[in-house]
Structure formats: C-alpha cells, structure tokens
Amino acid sequence: MSIISFLFVAFVGVVTVLYFGAPQRFRWLVLLAASTVFYASFGGRALVLLALSILADFALARLIGQTSQPGRRRLYLGLSLAINLGSLALFKYFTPAVRGLDTSVAWLSFARNLHILGTPIGLSFFTFAKLGYVIDVFRRQTSPEPSLGYFATFVAFFPNITSGPIERATHLLPQLKAGQPFDAARAAEGLRRVLWGVCKKVVIADRLAIYVDAVYNQPRYYSGPALFLATLFLAFQIYADFSAYTDIALGIAHLLGIDLFENFRQPYFATSVFDFWRRWHISLTNWIREYLLFPLSRGLLRKFRQRVAPQALQVVVYLAVMGLVGLWHGASLTFVAWGLLHGLYLSVELALPARLRQPPHGRWETALRLGVTFGLVSLAWILFRANSLSDAGYIVSHMLSLRGDFWSAILYVIPVDPGVSALFTLLGLTAAPDQSLRLIGLVLSLALIGVLLLADLSDARGGFLQSVSRAPAWLRWSFYYAVTAGILFLGSWGQQAFLYFRF
Amino acid sequence: MPRFILKLLLFALPVACYGLVAIGMPYYAGEFTPLRQVAAEQAASPVASLYGRAYRDDFVAYKLLSTQLRRANILALGSSRVWSFRAGLFNKAGASFYNAGGGANTISDLGQFVQALAADQAPQVLIVGLDQDWFDPAHVPTLVTSPAEALNQPAMDDQALLNTGRSAMVDWLTGRWSVLQLLTRKDPITQDHAVGIRAIMTGDGFRKDGSRQFGHLLSSPTATADRLAETRRRIEISGDRFEYADQFSPTAVAKLGTFLDECQARGITVIGFSPPYAPSIYAEMAASAHYGYIPKLGAELGRLFAAKGLAYFDFSDGHLPGITDDNFIDGFHGSEIVYSQMYLQMLEAQPDLLGQYSEAAPLVARLQQPRMNNLTLFDNDAVP
C-alpha cells in the first residue's frame, strides 16, 4: 500500500476514527492491527518475518532484564545482534549477491532461494529500532517492556516502519501507552504536514526525478551542463523525497497524538559536513553516534591510545562508521564509496584549525561555508545515485565541460512537463513550441527548489507550517487550496517510489 | 471531533467537485471501463455502439481482446490503414467479420497477433494490410505497444487516474468536452451508444465491427486539399512513414514470408494487399523519384505470395473505379468507399474463397447509389 494513494488516505481515515473511538486502554491494539494490515499489504511472508523478529527481540530483552550475570547478559545481547544483523546481512546483502549463482552447494542454494521472500520492507529501519531497544535494556538505560503487544506496536508502527524515522523505545513506547485524546489543533497540524509532504513528493521530488533519472541512467549521452543540472536537481530530489516521507509519517503520527523524531533540520543550511550530519537523517545519525561511533571510539582509544595518535584513531573510526552507513543504504560499491567520502570529509574537518571548526562569523563567511558544504555534499550524492563507480567518475569528470550550445545542452534534458502543458493549454497557448515548454519546465523546477529552500528558511526562523497555522483563516485556507491545486495540476504522477523505501 | 470533521469536509468539498468533474465524468463516459468489458459488451450487444477513449490509447489490446471474443471467420489485420473494411461487405449468411486494424503496426506484430489467437479464435481468411513503410529501410517505427505486451499493460492505478483527471479537467475548462453531452453517452453522428469521451464528443471511434468512424470529418467536413496537406508535408521532409528509399528491405520481406508460412501451417488463408495512397499523392511520390522502393516492393510481394499460392493486391496507386482524392480520409488512409472498391476487386479475383462470404451484386448496387458524403458507404443500421 503506497502512502500516496487513495487507499492509504481511506486507511488512515478509518484508523483515526477507530483509534479515537476506542477506549484509551485499547488504542494501542487499534494501532497494532492497523500496522499489521499495512505491513501485510507488502506480502504475507514479510509479515511473518517481522513477527518472528519481534518475538525474538522481545524474548531476548526480557531475558537480559531477568538476569544479572554479565556473561549471560552479553550472550543474549550477542544473540540479538546476530539475529538482527544476520537478517540484515542475509536479506539485504547475501541473498541478492548469490541470486545469480548457479550452484548445487546446499546452503548457497538455500540462501539463493530466499530471494523469493524478497527483502522485507523497512528491514534496515526496524532492525535498528529493535537493536537500539535491546542495547538500551542491556545498558540498563531502560527496563524491558513487559507487554509483547506494546513492543510489537512500537516496532511495527505503520507511519514510520518503511522509511523511518528510527525511533527509540524510550521515546515512542510511553506515547503508545498514553493514548492521547483527540485534539483538533494537533490533528490540523498533522494533516497540514501531510499535505505539505505530499506536495514535496509529487510536485518537487518526482518532477526533479524525471530529469535526474534520464541523465544518471545514461550519463554518457549528456554534456557537461546537463550533467551539472541533473546533479543540482539530484541534491534537492533526494532531500524533497526523503523529507516528504518524513513529513507524511510525522503528520499522521501527530494526527494520532504521537510525536516521532524530527529527521531533518534544514540540511542545506549546514556550514560544515559535521553540521550537515546534525541536520540530515537525524534519527540515523543519532543511532549511529550512540550505538556505533561512541562505543567504537572509546574502545579503540582504550586499546590503542599508547600506540596511535587519537586523531589518527578518529580518522579510522569515521571512515569505518561512515563506510558502514553507506553499506546500510545498500549492497553496492557506490553506497560504500559515498559513505567513505563523507568519512573523509569528516576526517579532514577534524584536522582543520580550531577557528574553522567553530560556527561561522558574519554573512560572507556563512555564505561561503554554506556553499562549500553544499558543493561537497552534492559531489557525494553523485556516488549515492550513480549506477556504478564508472558512471560516477564520468559525471564528475565531465560536469564542468561544455559540449555544443549551452542552452540546447540544458533544454535537451528537460522533458515536456504534463503540468506545464496543462497550464499552457489553459492559457490558450497550445501552439507554444516545445522549447518554450521545456524552458518553462526548467524555470518551474528551479522555482520549486527555491520554494523548498524558502520553506526551510522559514522553518529555521520558527517553523514554516507553524507560521501557516498562525495566519488568518483566509490565508491558511488559501495555502491549503494552493498546495492542493499544485498537487493536482503540477504533480508528476509517474509512479516514482519513495527513494528511502528501498532501504 | 465533529467540528473538525466538518471543517475537513468543507475543505474536501471543492476537491470533491474537482474529482467529480475530472474523474467522475470521464468514469461515467467510460474512460476507465476495463477493455475486456468494452470488448465483451460490443461483441454481445445486438445494437451498434462506438468505442473511442480520449486519454488512453490502448487500441492494440482492444483489438486483440475483441478478436479473441468474436471468433470471426474473416479477419482484417494491419495498421490504421486497414480500418475501413466494413462488416457490410460480407453479406452472405454465415459470414462473420471483424476488423482488427490497428492491432499490428509492424511485420513482427502480425505474427504476435495471430499467435495470441487460440485455434478456435483464429480466422479462416485473413486480409492483411502491408503498409509500404514497413518495408522501407529508412523508416524507424514509432514505439507502439506490441500485441505481445498489450494485454500485460498495468491496470489504471491512482497515479494514472490523477494524470487522466488533470488532462480531463483542462479539456473541460477549455471546452473540449461538456458535461451535458457526456451525460448522453451517445455517438453524435448516429445516436448509437458510445463509450469514451472521444466517441461521445466527436463521433471518433471503433464501431462494433472494428472499423473506424471518423466522426470529426463527418460532422465538420474539411476540404480534400486540407486533408492531404499533412501528407504532403511529410513527403517534403521525408519523414513519419514517408522516408525516401530506393530499395525495399529484404529482411522485412523474409519476415513476412515466415509469417505467411505460420498462417498456412495453422490453416489460415492470407490475402495480402498494399494499402492505397490518395491518387494525387501517389502521383507526386512517383514524380519525385524518391520512393523507388514502392513499385519494386509491389512486384516482390506479388512474387512472394504467388510462390505460396496466395493472393496479393497492390493498391498503392489508389487507382480504383470511381475513386478520387475526395474519397480519402487523408493522403494514405482510404475511406470505406475506397476499401469497398478494393474488396470488390479481391472478390472478383478470388470468387471461390471470398464468394462464400460475399455477394458482389448488392455491393456494386450500393456503390452506385447516391451517397450523403464521399467517405461512408454503410449506415450503422446496416451493420450486423
């Protein structure tokens, strides 16, 4: 069930009515049932795998909580790590790798045949959520959840199971148990956010995706300006796509009286790569920092402090951790390279003079560091999106060259936009040449990127949607109808799945 | 909560109005009716009906499904240049005809289309239109769904619905269709039942026998010169099915030979023909000396069919009794008057084969009667 579908709208409507209609102590049950139905829509086999993994971690956390013997506790933790990371490795990396193998080796054949189960949707996300919970129990930062039902609802919560944000049990479980009463203002806020998320997805992200996919799937057909434009669009396509999903997930949760973690904080206003990672996919960054980066740093420092300079150890840690972050996104060298490049960026930033590691002073320095950071991040996105390292190399080495006429090179990439065509038809400009339509399409895409950035700027100054909520009723409703009209008339209805759905 | 729901409904009201016009009206008009249902209703209904969608061009699948349902003993197959054969030509009892024109747009498509027919769905006689550009080595076929893919097209999903809704809304706002006319669900030319916005608004669509009704030409006739202008433009630029070539493609001829063998193996008798160009258009093409491949192709196809004991007719020059440019839809699509004359020639040449299905005298008499226009021969009432 796509979250951009009439069926999902009806589904959320029914769930909301049932949720608030149910007695407070049974509301979690409505959420669990809804989450089960939602996840089952992706396949019964995936649901079985999810259920088994929930049972395993629920039991192991309980066992950790019931024993004080360090050895036993570490054993149960190890089992949980093995099951979770093993599932991730098996379904996400190993099974796809052996799929094409012609082998009679029994265990390889078994692994190969597992591909019929597919990769369970949201595997990367709910695995980290469950692991975080088990580790928190091990560290005694939280006590094991006594109710299987609540725990299952926490893991399978339908707004965020497929693409995050990665929640913490200490943050989500109490809210699930509280079962907030209906609040009209909250509901309006939630729906506002969902509407804005849908707009970001179909009007901005999917429109940019058409250009990006055309170029990145066949980069050698395109000249420098087209490669440059597609790379610029890519940066905003990824952001609009991923943040749109987050908006929809958080909006639905908010409608139900539940607050999920914010996942983005104006990432392209970052003035360093460290700052970028405090603003991008925040729930993943926090998870990595808490459960991987800090323990690894501490461990390595403890072990090698006498022999290796701490700075060198930090470089190793950042490269290793960011490489794993790349691998988390997918079993591809390009993702790993993307992660390693960010690891390199962070390592270099660590070595910068202290003055440059502090926040910038003044507008010019801010603008310069903003530009440099955006450039570095966009360069890394090339690796994230390219179909191969060779394609990435080609794009990087050619995107600043000009072959032929500049405007033709750019406009050649831009398809005739159905939304723009519709607009022209309404204005009676049916005889407009293709070039005009393409130029308008280009201008529209750039304008929409501007809208995205303006919304982020407004967010940085107190909240874009909050300012909408404070506006007079006529302005608020005008905004709602303008966004809805934008979705209906300018939406790119071309069946583009959410990017992070694959992870 | 009740007040919140009220506000939500208030917000949704204009959106629902949009939905009613943009999606509801096209739905009512039949734009989203599953093809199987359209094909089945047209096949089963004793009355005439017209099918013509405005927003989804899936006539390959439509023709394949209809052919599978009709189990006609005579089938016309090819591109849009086969559209004008009418069921009224096959006037003997026991004759059943279906026009699958548009179901095949390349030589490969011919084979795929026939392969998709089970033994009891295949015709006894197959009249195949062999477009000249199929054998033109300079011509690159436009991407059209092949018969092999046609039935695997994805069903209409939410996104396709919204795409269609947008187009429909723009067309409504610019006056291309009206709610009142859609509510009639009638062909404006014949007042028969119509499915699809194009059929209801312009009378353009496929009749029950699979032939094409060019409603826009019947309701708003245009001058012959205007109808041939686009073809002249294509000849001038050597483009869009009128690419210059001096030789035909032997590979294409070989492919056709394979197709003929496959049909013969299935007991299907093929009658081939090269469709006509408007006489003045053909004369211009011949005079230009850019289309040397066409007469050579005619001779080659004649040899190919004769070698297999099959009949072939080269109508490329459009020279048929009583036929002028006025009888053409455009420069390379003849009307049913043209195709009726063509069929009479086929009938005369193949009395044993086609004489089982048609009697020439009534057709000749009909052609000699005064007509309302230069393009149609049969009323829909005359169509079985």
pLDDT over 50 (residue B382): no
Q: How far apart are the CA of A494 and the nearest CA of chain B, in angstroms?
A: 7
The DSSP secondary structure of A150-206, one letter per residue, reads HHHHHHH-TTTTTT-----HHHHHHHHHH-PPP-HHHHHHHHHHHHHHHHIIIIIIH
| Mean pLDDT estimate for chain B | 91
Question: Which among A2, A20, A191 is the nearest to B1, CB-wise?
Answer: A20
- A274 inside 8 A of chain B by CB: no
Q: How far apart are the CA of A419 and the nearest CA of chain B, in angstroms?
A: 8
Q: Express each pLDDT in B299-356 by its tens digit.
A: 999 999 999 999 999 999 999 999 999 999 999 999 999 999 999 999 999 999 999 9
Q: Express each pLDDT in A203-234 by its tens digit.
A: 999 999 988 998 999 898 888 888 999 999 99
Residues in chain A within 8 Å Cβ distance of B18: 488
Q: Express each pLDDT in B48-107 by its tens digit.
A: 889 999 988 788 899 999 999 999 999 999 999 999 999 999 999 989 999 999 999 999
- CA–CA gap between residue A292 and residue A313 (Å, rounded): 14
> Which pLDDT belongs to residue B384?
42
> Which pLDDT belongs to residue A301?
82
> Which pLDDT belongs to residue B145?
74
Average pLDDT value for residue range B150-156: 71
> Which pLDDT belongs to residue B380?
62
- A478 inside 8 A of chain B by CB: no
B159–A182 CB contact, under 8 Å:
no
- B52 inside 8 A of chain A by CB: no
More confident residue, B351 or B34: B351
Q: Express each pLDDT in A137-185 by its tens digit.
A: 999 999 999 999 999 999 999 999 998 899 999 999 999 998 888 999 9
- Cα dihedral: B198, B200, B203, B208 (round 10): 100
Question: Which among A6, A477, A493 is the nearest to B163, CB-wise?
Answer: A493
Report for A348-357, A371-380, A439-448: range of highest mean pLDDT: A371-380
| Mean pLDDT estimate for chain A | 88
- A4 inside 8 A of chain B by CB: yes
B4–A184 CB contact, under 8 Å:
yes
Q: Express each pLDDT in A285-303 by its tens digit.
A: 999 999 999 988 888 888 8
Percent residues over pLDDT 70 in chain B:
97
A488–B157 CB contact, under 8 Å:
no
Size of interface A-B (CB pairs under 8 A): 52
Average pLDDT value for residue range A2-25: 92
B-chain residue closest to A1, CA distance: B158
Q: What SS3 state is found at B225?
A: helix
- A489 inside 8 A of chain B by CB: yes
Q: Which of A420, A396, A426, A429 is nearest to A491 (CA)?
A: A420
- A491 inside 8 A of chain B by CB: yes
- CA–CA gap between residue B58 and residue B103 (Å, rounded): 10
Q: Express each pLDDT in B195-220 by its tens digit.
A: 999 999 999 999 999 999 999 888 88
Instruction: Label residue A95 by pLDDT band (50, 70, 90).
Output: low
> Which pLDDT belongs to residue A105?
58
Residues in chain B within 8 Å Cβ distance of A491: 162, 166
Q: Which residue out of A281, A329, A342, A398 is catalytically annotated? A: A329
Q: Which of B123, B76, B127, B121 is nearest to B103 (CA)?
A: B76
> Which pLDDT belongs to residue A432?
64
B-chain residue closest to A494, CA distance: B159
Residue A456 contacts residue A266 (beta carbons within 8 Å): yes
Q: Express each pLDDT in B359-368 by its tens digit.
A: 999 999 988 8
Residue B337 contacts residue B323 (beta carbons within 8 Å): yes
Residue A234 contacts residue A419 (beta carbons within 8 Å): no
Question: How far is C-alpha A20 from the chain's CA centre?
Answer: 29
A425–B163 CB contact, under 8 Å:
no
> Which pLDDT belongs to residue B381?
47
Complex ipTM, two decimals? 0.81
pLDDT over 60 (residue A111): no
Burial (CB count <10 Å: 0-12, 13-18, 19+), residue A229: buried
Q: How many CB atoms are located within 10 Å of the residue B16 CB?
A: 12
Give the residue from A495, A496, A498 with the most B CB atoms within 10 Å of its CB, the best one to mutate: A495
Residue B308 has phi, psi (to 5 degrees) of -100, 10
- B174 inside 8 A of chain A by CB: yes
- CA–CA gap between residue B273 and residue B282 (Å, rounded): 16
Residue A380 has phi, psi (to 5 degrees) of -65, -35
Instruction: Label residue B383 by pLDDT band (50, 70, 90).
Output: very low
By DSSP bridging, strand B204-206 and strand B212-214 are antiparallel
Average pLDDT value for residue range A472-498: 85
B3–A20 CB contact, under 8 Å:
no
Residue A329 known to be catalytic? yes
Give the residue from A183, A417, A488 with the most B CB atoms within 10 Å of its CB, the best one to mutate: A488
> Which pLDDT belongs to residue A270?
95
Q: Express each pLDDT in A52-71 by its tens digit.
A: 999 999 999 999 999 989 99
> Which pLDDT belongs to residue A97?
61
> Which pLDDT belongs to residue A110?
59
Write out the H or E segment, with its range, that includes residue B214: strand B212-214
More confident residue, A180 or A256: A256
More confident residue, A419 or A70: A70
Place of tokens 């028969």: B192
Instruction: Count the alpha carbons within 13 Å of B83 in the hemisphere toward its beta carbon.
Output: 23
- CA–CA gap between residue B110 and residue A319 (Å, rounded): 59
By DSSP bridging, strand B74-78 and strand B97-101 are parallel
Residues in chain B within 8 Å Cβ distance of A425: 170, 174
Q: Which of A38, A35, A10 is nearest to A172 (CA)?
A: A35
- B364 inside 8 A of chain A by CB: no
- CA–CA gap between residue B268 and residue B73 (Å, rounded): 10
Instruction: Label residue A423 by pLDDT band (50, 70, 90).
Output: confident
Confirm whether pTM is higher than 0.90. no
Instruction: Label residue A442 by pLDDT band (50, 70, 90).
Output: confident
Q: How far apart are the CA of A481 and the nearest CA of chain B, in angstroms?
A: 8
Q: What SS3 state is found at A401?
A: coil
